Amino acid sequence: MEKIQIFDTTLRDGEQSPGASMDVEQKLEIALQLEQLGVDVIESGFPVSSPEQFRACKLISENVKNSTIAALARSTEKDIDAAADSIGKAARSRIHTFVSTSPIHREFKLKKTPQEVIEMTRKAVRYARNRCAEVEFSPEDATRTELDFLCKVLEVAIEEGATILNIPDTVGYTVPDEYAQLITTIRNRVPNIDKAILSVHCHNDLGLAVANTISALNAGARQAEVTINGIGERAGNAALEEVVMALNVRKDILGLETGINTRQLYTTSRMLSTMIGFPIPRNKAIVGENAFAHESGIHQHGMLSHRETYEIMTPQSVGRDTTRIVLGRHSGMHGFRKRLAELNIIINEEELKRAYEAFLKVADRKKEIFDEDLFTIVSEQFGTTTGSLVLEYLQFHSGNTSVPTATVRIKDQQEIYEEASTGDGPVDAAFRAIERALDITATLIEYNVQAVTPGKQAMGETSVIIEIDGRRATGRGSSTDIVEASAKAFVNAISRYRLLQEVVHP
């Protein structure tokens, strides 16, 4: 196995995605998580660009101990000084400097001749090398650069002391075979290439960033520049979690490994997604909601017979709980039977067939069938009573000089239950009134309230766990009024308890 260095640029290229900006403390939090993940190099930012960027790079350098800290710089002394000054305190630091090399960038962006670009490269790498022991150089837009010229620029960068040469596919233009060929050619043509490590940095404009990265690593590149969740300019960069798991799962043919603790992948992905407010698509590889979920009957049957029929890695290997067998309109009898058994709903084969038919009717109308739906389906078929409870009416009164009081009206398919009670506060009064109305005593085991929408009119969501006669049930309720949300959650939990009583064997 040969080792691939993982260079994470979430905090630099990733942060360049519109909407992904993080403040200094957030960047530090991500950097510390990247260190936990086992990333070899953390590109902490582009320090010349603002005082806050500079501060973030500095703070990260002072706090991260086990990863090299890199900072980006154009080929100017001012940028290189900012990079060197910001990361100087890191245990291991690296200046990453770059110059555009492609004709279109040279002519229209830099307005420089090829010879001038070579001189910019020479001076920048030399200057950076005087300020930092480790220098990485990137010829920006390498994949649209004339091959001879590209090789010349790389040769000069190595002469001046760059030990990591990055070959960026800046605009996501290349395809896997072409990119592998480019890496092979550079390895064969640049005379001093043995003094440097080749790195790859792929953008996803054609959805090929991960494929191109793997192809280049297979051709001899030994550093991959990647971001968590694939965030980055435009369509993003190659996703760290996808590259790492591709190398891991296919080590049989690639013979490459990384130092990443793959069990930290999911946590890292969720942390970033929540922090910057970029939701992860359900079908995203490795970390998406559906990556280890199976709804179709044939797949569920296969999975229940042998996990590897439809999964090439375990959810645990990337830090997730378990495979999910999701019930929906595509599910078959095997998956349905298994879920009922897991819920302790024991019915005979004849009843199972009837329940499955009822399930399919609901599944045709509903995207996903939750456990609660299963209880309802089965209890409607074989239960004896009542259906779900609904809180129809809630009135409460409280204040700092009066005794909190609540009145409730609850109904099921057969009856209406009404009662009133006092309590230690409005929520307690509502819970006691509900218990009285339903003639039940429930112990409140857990009670959580959270705002699910922002602002003064926020929707509050309440969840409770109650215990009745040694059996627990959960309930949820939401409303702009927190007492109402709580009462709904309590009624919902009692309702689930009643369904459980009807269909679950002790």
Which residues carry a binding-site annotation for Mn(2+)? 13, 201, 203, 237
Among 91, 26, 95, CA closest to 61: 91
Question: Least separation, in Å, of the C-beta of 84 and ligand ACO?
Answer: 16
Question: Least separation, in Å, of the C-beta of 96 and ligand KIV?
Answer: 7
Residue 166 interacts with, from ligand KIV, ligand ACO, none (CB under 5-8 Å by kind): ligand KIV
In sequence order, what are the beta bridge partners of 419? 408
Nearer to ligand KIV, 168 or 319 (CB): 168
Residue 211 CA to residue 198 CA, distance in Å, equals 17
Count of residues near ligand KIV by CB under 6 A = 9
Q: At 450, is the secondary structure helix, strand, or coil?
A: strand
Compose the 5-24 pattern: x for residues touching ligand KIV by CB under 6 A, - for all others. Answer: --------x-----------
Residue 75 interacts with, from ligand ACO, ligand KIV, none (CB under 5-8 Å by kind): ligand ACO
CA distances to 27, 262, 271 from 318, rounded to whole Å, are 23, 5, 14
Please identify which residue in 140, 241, 295, 428 interacts with ligand KIV, judged by CB under 6 A: 140
User: Please, which residues have CB within 8 angstroms of residue 87's CB and are 6 or more apart in sequence?
Assistant: 44, 47, 57, 58, 61, 69, 70, 71, 93, 94, 95, 132
Decide: 493 and 466 in contact? Cβ < 8 Å. Answer: yes
Compose the 21-40 pattern: x for residues touching ligand ACO by CB under 6 A, - for all others. Answer: --------------------
In sequence order, what are the beta bridge partners of 345? 504
Nearer to ligand KIV, 98 or 292 (CB): 98
Decide: 94 and 68 in contact? Cβ < 8 Å. Answer: yes
Stretch that binds ligand KIV, among 164-172, 271-279, 322-330, 367-375 (CB under 6 A): 164-172
Residue 271 interacts with, from ligand ACO, ligand KIV, none (CB under 5-8 Å by kind): none
Question: Least separation, in Å, of the C-beta of 199 and ligand ACO?
Answer: 14
Question: Least separation, in Å, of the C-beta of 180 and ligand KIV?
Answer: 18
Based on the number of CB atoms within 10 Å of its own CB, is 416 exposed (0-12), middle (13-18) or buried (19 or more)? Answer: exposed
Compose the 184-213 pattern: x for residues touching ligand KIV by CB under 6 A, - for all others. Answer: -----------------x-x----------
Please identify which residue in 56, 64, 99, 408 interacts with ligand ACO, judged by CB under 6 A: 99
Supply the DSSP string of 156-212, one letter for each residue: HHHHTT--EEEEEETTS---HHHHHHHHHHHHHH-TTGGGSEEEEEEB-TTS-HHHH
Q: Is 205 in the site for ligand ACO (CB under 6 A)?
A: no
The 460-468 sheet, strands edge to edge: 443-451, 460-468, 471-479
In sequence order, what are the beta bridge partners of 170? none
Q: Is 46 in the site for ligand ACO (CB under 6 A)?
A: yes
Polymer length of the chain: 506
Nearer to ligand ACO, 203 or 299 (CB): 203
What DSSP state is assigned to residue 287?
T
What DSSP state is assigned to residue 281?
P
Supply the DSSP string of 84-115, one letter for each residue: HHHHTTSSSEEEEEEEE-SHHIIIIII---HH
Nearer to ligand ACO, 170 or 199 (CB): 170
Residue 428 CA to residue 430 CA, distance in Å, equals 5
Q: At 77, is the secondary structure helix, strand, or coil?
A: helix
Compose the 127-146 pattern: x for residues touching ligand ACO by CB under 6 A, - for all others. Answer: -------------x------
Residue 185 CA to residue 26 CA, distance in Å, equals 41
Residue 83 CA to residue 6 CA, distance in Å, equals 20
Please identify which residue in 29, 38, 110, 449 interacts with ligand ACO, judged by CB under 6 A: 110
Compose the 275-314 pattern: x for residues touching ligand ACO by CB under 6 A, - for all others. Answer: ----------------------------------------
Nearer to ligand KIV, 209 or 466 (CB): 209
Among 123, 125, 124, 120, CA closest to 158: 125
Both structure tokens of 326: 């999701």
Among 487, 494, 8, 490, CA closest to 237: 8
Nearer to ligand ACO, 230 or 426 (CB): 230
494, amino acid identity: I
Q: Which residues are annotated as a binding site?
A: 13, 201, 203, 237
Nearer to ligand KIV, 79 or 295 (CB): 79
Residue 320 interacts with, from ligand ACO, ligand KIV, none (CB under 5-8 Å by kind): none
User: What's the first-to-final CA gap in the chain, in angstroms?
Assistant: 53
Question: Least separation, in Å, of the C-beta of 168 and ligand KIV?
Answer: 3
90-129 binders of ligand KIV (CB under 6 A) = 98
Question: Least separation, in Å, of the C-beta of 504 and ligand ACO?
Answer: 57
Q: Is 13 in the site for ligand ACO (CB under 6 A)?
A: yes
In sequence order, what are the beta bridge partners of 457? none
Residue 49 interacts with, from ligand KIV, ligand ACO, none (CB under 5-8 Å by kind): ligand ACO
* Contact residues: ligand KIV, CB under 6 A: 13, 98, 138, 140, 166, 168, 170, 201, 203
* Contact residues: ligand ACO, CB under 6 A: 13, 16, 46, 48-49, 74-76, 98-100, 109-110, 140, 170, 233
